[in-house]
Amino acid sequence: MSSILKSLRLVADPTRVRILSLLGQQDLSVAELQEVLAMGQSRISSHLAQLKQTHLIEDRRSGKNVIYALKTQMDEGLAEIFSLVRAAMQEVGEIEQDNAALELTMRKRKDKARVYFDKLAGKFGRQYVPGRSWKALAETMLKLMPPLDIADLGAGEGTFSQLLAQRAKSVVAIDSSEKMVEFGSKVAQENGFKNLEYRLGDIEDPPIEDASVDIAIFSQSLHHAGKPEVALQSAFRILRPGGRVVVLDLLKHHYEDAKDLYADLWLGFSELELSQFLKRSGFVNIDPAVVDREKVSPHFQTLMVIAEKP
């Protein structure tokens, strides 16, 4: 009887119920649980140690990682305890968000190509190779891109817009700063870009016709929006069916000085947060990835999310 009472006390914690819910769906490492639950390693390890005392979970070593799983064979007493845990899951509001985060984590696990390129991260450009640069690679990819109608939302002075205009059918660059729009328009005219138009406007309600562009891009602009989700809804509005939105922004961070130094309204976004914004805005085939990590403090990371309008 005492062991049953002890087990009941150990599982009577919302975080441990969340962990059991996740392990009931997928075997996970501590690092993966950290990512899904957005908690520190020591805290999660403590919860796992206590759950092991209930004998509801088990672990195994896989290379350098320890993988935790829900026990497959349970006696009658454990099965009854776990049935109570299942009932308790209905009372834990975070579980729905945990399930969405788990889906993202599993997608990353399966993406072997991303793991490969993560290993290469930082090696490109470390040694000088004549003629090799990120700009050259970007120019090459742009040449391979079919001519499309593109909206650059929050374009700033428009360097990216001008790069896109070399290949795009048309580019509409939106910015809320009159000086930025004036400067960008002048540079575009000097460089002979007749397919590039700068318009003064807000990315939350861009002055662009409905269903008129193939790609909508937010390049480090969404964290300046008062209401990022509204900006994504507007991107959905201006895209044609089958069109795609591309978000390049900072991964969520804690560098508060960014608000003063760069006029940032948001300290970046998590993969889950942006994915949920996009899903609620109507987008499908949402694909997030961390594509860059800066080596210098505060070590900003760049998050790229691509999604499609059905």
Q: How far apart, in whole angstroms, are the C-alpha atoms of residue 151 and residue 245?
A: 9
Chain-centroid distance, C-alpha 187: 33
Q: How confident is the model at residue 1 (pLDDT cuts 50, 70, 90)?
A: very low
DSSP state of 251: B
Chain-centroid distance, C-alpha 218: 13
Cis upstream peptide for 147 (omega within 30°): no
Q: How far apart, in whole angstroms, are the C-alpha atoms of residue 133 and residue 136?
A: 5
pLDDT tens for 256-303 read 888 888 888 899 999 999 999 999 999 999 999 888 888 889 999 999
In order of start, what are the domains of the chain with their CATH numbers? 2-113 (1.10.10.10), 133-308 (3.40.50.150)
Contact 207, 141 (CB under 8 A): no
Tell me, what's the pLDDT at 116? 56
Q: How far apart, in whole angstroms, are the C-alpha atoms of residue 214 and residue 169?
A: 10
Does the reported pTM lie above 0.95? no
* Element spanning 288, H or E: strand 284-293
Tell me what percent of the residues of the chain surpass a pLDDT of 70: 91
